[in-house]
Amino acid sequence: MKLATFMHRAGSPKIGVVTDEGLVDLSAIAPSLPPAVIDIIDGGEPMLEEIRRVISRARPIPLEHVRLLAPVPHPPEFLGIGLNYRDHCNEIGIPLPSVPTVFNKQTSCIAGPHDEVVLPTASDQLDYEGELAFIVGRAARRHLSREQAHASIFGYVVVNDVSVRDVQLSSSTVTLGKSFDTHGPLGPWIVTPEEIGDPQQLVISTLVNGEQRQRGNTSDMIFDCADILVFLSRFMSLQPGTVVTTGTPAGVGHCKCPPAYLRAGDRVTVEISGLGRLDNRVVAEAASTLKGPPP
């Protein structure tokens, strides 16, 4: 199943299911379902079964008639794993880490799959990082086994872990350089595990203005999705809807010679096989249409 958060015409954000025919508005066919995606996620498989039961009676809306938002607009946490691809560690010239490198992105940075990404006045070192992320489901308690970790992943999304490199590298933590407004494009929808098969066999591609900058495979991860969730569960109970992004393959702009940072007018496309794509245009902060946090 593909779960999306969207707006249709001038309405408020809603939850929908993306099918081959378009997008099914769940509020129109099953108003008794929770209106918040976090509650759908917390409902787990019984909630998904109820959705499967009702969507057959709906007439889908064409995707081009809706605005897709970040599928989890307000997650309880937005966590990242750094240095998790062998080829990326090689391009930086560092040894492979022995444990996952964990950081957080502030949730206020989240943007939709087609929203503008703002080049801030504070820096000209804006960089892309195409990544696979997973969404934590219910029962992600402490001290999970690998089997429990697999069962605690609700679904997967595409993320661009946009980074402001000089700010990121000027601090002992990377949070500030990872958390500017709009620097967390997410989407285009949540894909539940049964639709993608093995999450460690997915192709990741990042293009800037049509030029391929990154092409990797999740099989190159040092720590796979279950490893990451098991590790995190040693320290905390993760809440339903938490987004965990899992690292980026080689090819980031910072490691080019000379560095190839993003500029206003650039278009960044991140695609993962079976999950969909993000397509975001970079705009200068003064020209941004951003007026506040995403809906």
pLDDT one-digit tens code per residue, 263-295: 999 999 999 999 999 999 999 998 665 555 444
Output the 3-class SS for 56-92. CCCCCECHHHEEEECCCCCCCCEEEEECCEHHHHHHH
Which tokens in the block code for residue 74? 């307000």
| Distance from C-alpha of 234 to C-alpha of 221, rounded to nearest angstrom | 20
SS3 55: helix
Q: What local confidence, expressed as pLDDT, does residue 172 receive?
A: 86
Asked if 50 and 96 sit in the same domain, the reply is: no
| Distance from C-alpha of 149 to C-alpha of 159, rounded to nearest angstrom | 21
pLDDT one-digit tens code per residue, 78-132: 999 999 999 999 999 999 999 999 999 999 999 999 999 999 999 999 999 999 9
Is residue 294 in some structural domain?
no
Q: What local confidence, expressed as pLDDT, does residue 288 receive?
A: 65
Strand partners of residue 251? none
Asked if 268 and 136 sit in the same domain, the reply is: yes
pTM of the model: 0.95
> 32, 51, 69 — which closes off a domain?
69
Assess whether pLDDT exceeds 90 at residue 58.
Answer: no
Domain enclosing residue 37, as ranges: 2-69
SS3 127: strand
Q: What local confidence, expressed as pLDDT, does residue 294 receive?
A: 45
Q: What local confidence, expressed as pLDDT, does residue 165 receive?
A: 98
Q: What local confidence, expressed as pLDDT, does residue 141 receive?
A: 85
How many domains is the chain partitioned into structurally?
A: 2
Is residue 292 in some structural domain?
no
Asked if 157 and 249 sit in the same domain, the reply is: yes
Asked if 28 and 96 sit in the same domain, the reply is: no
